[in-house]
């Protein structure tokens, strides 16, 4: 039975959830998926780092207290984050990169990915930054080193969209997409339809843990814009940069606008979209749109995300599911590893 | 560049649409998908048959008049359907089976599939009959002969559900599904919400070509039941036979029931579902259900189909799209051939 050695870079919610899944499901995966995972290294700017080529106890890692330097409590652990050593020298076959998203330059995640790929390690990541900003260079690096670079979780967490489009819609003639790609903003709009004001709805989203203390990236469309760039470049062969995508959010939508829409059987949604034009170019945008009741995305409520593919042969095909969540995003990493396994890349 | 030789068994709407797509898109597929298709045989109980190992003109085939024995008009063609010869002796790598669905014993399609697999040919089919009734035996036969047996189009035409679940949700812990799997009945329910009576709505579906002259299989759930058996056996590892699935339809739903549901913010839907129980058994049913407004399937209107997967790690993941249509179903055959190509089965 195949066992992949994996190093976890960034040990916040997502990689911690992956450790938890490994603790609970490794034996089952051996049976169901044909491989198991062994954690040989962890590094995190806040928690420190540890390498153990014989394998770390996944359950113990999942239960690690969220205290500065906590990895020093583990034998061979350190309060310092030796990122490069964990990536290059832990003996890992696969690097799971899940550090914070930096929308400016994708760092330090982009460097972590580069180190790993150059060292001949597969990379799985859920991080929008490196993908939106550096996908082409990182994919070329992966190809040159004959390893995989997978990032299903960069859009809609574990809900399959990138791989679904590439694998199951190949040949269908994808010409564009429209998506509800930010759960916080869709939750806010749904609550406003139930009578709340914008500020109240945002406060509720914050109370439930959907929205950050500063909700700007969610409600002004910046988060969606990164995802639109990723999807347009990946699925429509565009070469968009973040600045190429016109972007506005939902903060200008007031209760009166919501009520008018409801009276007309319509719904306001924050839509990220892209479309290939007749001249071959790809136009993309992020903006609040009024959708008619029968639009494939009109029925998507609450924090759920959805993506409607527009295809020549099938018309609209829509997938909806979670767009965030620790376990849901950790599953995206697992699905990337399944893809690596299926492709026969046993390093 | 790879070229697969394909024989078309049954030349009604679906395989005729495939011929049309080949005529229009073969050069594009060479570029986009890495392979092209050459039609080397066609057979149809009504139209006759033809074999040409050098390749038949796909555009000419797509334009063939729908007259009894029409294939005799083609050089080397015959008014007689030499099914076995076309399947076994046309030199085809792949047999595209798209004859009529026989819900009783799956014949003659099941025999056509057997002949092809025994002769070492890949089979792609959109036919629910052989899959619902004989999938296990046919899959074993394919394995024994080292060829592929693919049938994405047996459920929801070209909208990817079987391959999506197997490939992109592997490891997510699928525990059940609920689906709107018959476009006619969903169209009828949608029209009834707009004020039509049941009989009027069925007549409209017939006028639009959705419903057969005898709409029983659609509105009484028999069509959905075959699809539930296919999905439960394929995705939940069940061994269900058609008679194991309790089945009722929508004909008992009257306008008063529709109005009561609307007043409560609910919608009647014909739901095919299956779920793995705690003891490992799989329970499946087909019945009209009242869905609350926020149910993932409540927003699916008209002839659209949808399938909501219930998973341990992602919760509900829903895919919606067309469930019928000539081109849409022909795309299912293409997607099966893409899967064969990707698996490296170049015969």
> What is the pLDDT, as a whole number, of residue A344?
82
- The mean pLDDT of A22-36, rounded to a whole number, is 96
Please give the full DSSP string across A156-172, using - where no structure is assigned: TTTS--HHIIIIISTTS
State the pLDDT confidence band at A346, using cuts at 50, 70 and 90: very low
CA pair distance A318, A278, nearest whole angstrom: 23
Find the catalytic residue in B121, B227, B269, B289.
B227
State the pLDDT confidence band at B211, using cuts at 50, 70 and 90: confident
Determine the residue of chain B that is closest to A301 in CA distance.
Answer: B294
Neighbours of B106 (CB within 10 A): 22
State the pLDDT confidence band at B212, using cuts at 50, 70 and 90: confident
Which of A14, A33, A166, A170 is the best mutation test for B, with the most CBs of B within 10 A? Answer: A170
* pLDDT > 50? residue B59: yes
Which of B35, B124, B265, B317 is the best mutation test for A, with the most CBs of A within 10 A? Answer: B317
Output the average pLDDT for chain A: 96
Catalytic residue set of A = 227
- The mean pLDDT of B181-210, rounded to a whole number, is 94
Rounded to a whole number of angstroms, the CA Rg of chain B reads 21
State the pLDDT confidence band at B347, using cuts at 50, 70 and 90: very low
Domain boundaries, chain A: 2-158+327-345, 162-322
State the pLDDT confidence band at B209, using cuts at 50, 70 and 90: confident
What are the tens digits of pLDDT across the range B298-318? 999 999 999 999 999 999 999
> What is the pLDDT, as a whole number, of residue A233?
97
Neighbours of A109 (CB within 10 A): 26
CB pairs under 8 A between A and B: 123
B38 noted as active-site residue: no
Output the average pLDDT for chain B: 96
Neighbours of A268 (CB within 10 A): 22
Q: Quickly tell me which residue has 């490794």 as its tokens.
A: A26
Q: Quickly tell me which residue has 């007309």 as its tokens.
A: A264
Q: State how far residue B318 is from chain A, nearest Cα, in angstroms.
A: 5
Which segment of A122-126, A209-213, B185-189 scores lowest on mean pLDDT?
A: A209-213
What are the tens digits of pLDDT across the range A243-268? 999 999 999 999 999 999 999 999 99
Enter the pTM of the model: 0.96
> What is the pLDDT, as a whole number, of residue B82?
98
- The mean pLDDT of A218-224, rounded to a whole number, is 97
* pLDDT > 80? residue B346: no
Which of A22, A25, A37, A168 is the best mutation test for B, with the most CBs of B within 10 A? Answer: A168
> At CB < 8 Å, which residues of chain B contact A?
21, 29, 32-33, 157-160, 163-164, 167-172, 294, 296, 298-302, 304, 313-322, 327-328, 330-331, 334-335, 338, 342
Neighbours of A266 (CB within 10 A): 17
Q: State how far residue A52 is from chain B, nearest Cα, in angstroms.
A: 26
> What is the pLDDT, as a whole number, of residue A100?
94
Which segment of A219-228, A296-305, B39-48, B210-219 scores lowest on mean pLDDT?
A: B210-219
A223 near A179, Cβ under 8 Å?
no
How would you label A271-301 residue by residue, b for 16+ Cβ within 10 Å and e otherwise? bbbbbbeeeeebbbbbbbebbeeebbbbbbb
Residues of B in contact with A172 (CB under 8 A): 158, 331, 335
User: Do residue B321 and residue A320 have CB atoms under 8 angstroms apart?
Assistant: no
* pLDDT > 70? residue A171: yes
> What is the pLDDT, as a whole number, of residue A347?
39
Q: Which two tokens stand for residue B36?
A: 């092209």
User: Do residue A158 and residue B313 have CB atoms under 8 angstroms apart?
Assistant: yes
User: Do residue A171 and residue B315 have CB atoms under 8 angstroms apart?
Assistant: no
* pLDDT > 70? residue A321: yes
Tell whether domain A162-322 is in CATH 3.30.360.10: yes
* pLDDT > 90? residue A209: no
- The mean pLDDT of A44-69, rounded to a whole number, is 97
Task: Name the residue facing A163 among B168, B315, B318 (closest C-beta).
Answer: B168
Strand locations in A187-335 (E): 246-247, 266-276, 282-292, 305-311, 315-321
Give the CATH architecture of domain B2-158+327-345.
3-Layer(aba) Sandwich (3.40)
């Amino acid at each position: 039975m195949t066992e992949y050695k994996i190093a976890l870079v960034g040990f916040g919610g997502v990689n911690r959830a992956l450790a938890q899944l490994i603790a609970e499901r490794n034996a089952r995966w051996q049976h169901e998926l044909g491989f198991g995972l062994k954690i040989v290294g962890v590094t995190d700017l806040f928690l420190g780092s540890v390498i153990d080529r014989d394998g770390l106890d996944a359950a113990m890692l999942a239960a690690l207290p969220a205290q500065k330097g906590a990895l020093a409590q583990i034998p061979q652990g350190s309060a310092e984050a030796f990122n490069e050593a964990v990536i290059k020298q832990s003996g890992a076959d696969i690097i799971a990169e899940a550090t914070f998203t930096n929308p400016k330059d994708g760092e330090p995640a982009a460097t972590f990915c580069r180190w790993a790929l150059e060292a001949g390690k597969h990379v799985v990541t859920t991080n929008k930054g490196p993908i939106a900003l550096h996908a082409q260079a990182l994919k070329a690096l992966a190809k040159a080193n004959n390893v995989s670079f997978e990032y299903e979780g960069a859009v809609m967490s574990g809900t399959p969209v990138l791989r679904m489009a590439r694998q199951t819609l190949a040949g269908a003639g994808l010409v564009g997409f429209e998506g509800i790609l930010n759960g916080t903003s869709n939750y806010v709009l749904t609550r406003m339809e139930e009578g709340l004001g914008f500020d109240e709805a945002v406060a509720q989203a914050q109370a439930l843990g959907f929205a950050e203390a500063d909700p700007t990236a969610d409600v002004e469309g910046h988060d969606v814009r990164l995802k639109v760039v990723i999807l347009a470049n990946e699925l429509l062969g565009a070469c968009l940069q973040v600045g190429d995508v016109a972007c506005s959010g939902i903060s200008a939508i007031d209760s009166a606008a919501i009520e008018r829409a409801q009276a007309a059987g319509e719904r306001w949604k924050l839509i990220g979209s892209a479309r290939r034009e007749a001249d071959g170019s790809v136009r993309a945008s992020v903006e609040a749109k009024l959708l008619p009741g029968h639009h494939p995305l009109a029925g998507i409520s609450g924090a759920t995300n959805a993506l409607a593919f527009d295809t020549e042969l099938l018309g609209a095909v829509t997938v909806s599911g979670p767009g965030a969540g620790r376990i849901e995003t950790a599953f995206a990493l697992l699905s990337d590893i399944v893809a690596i396994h299926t492709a026969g890349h046993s390093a």
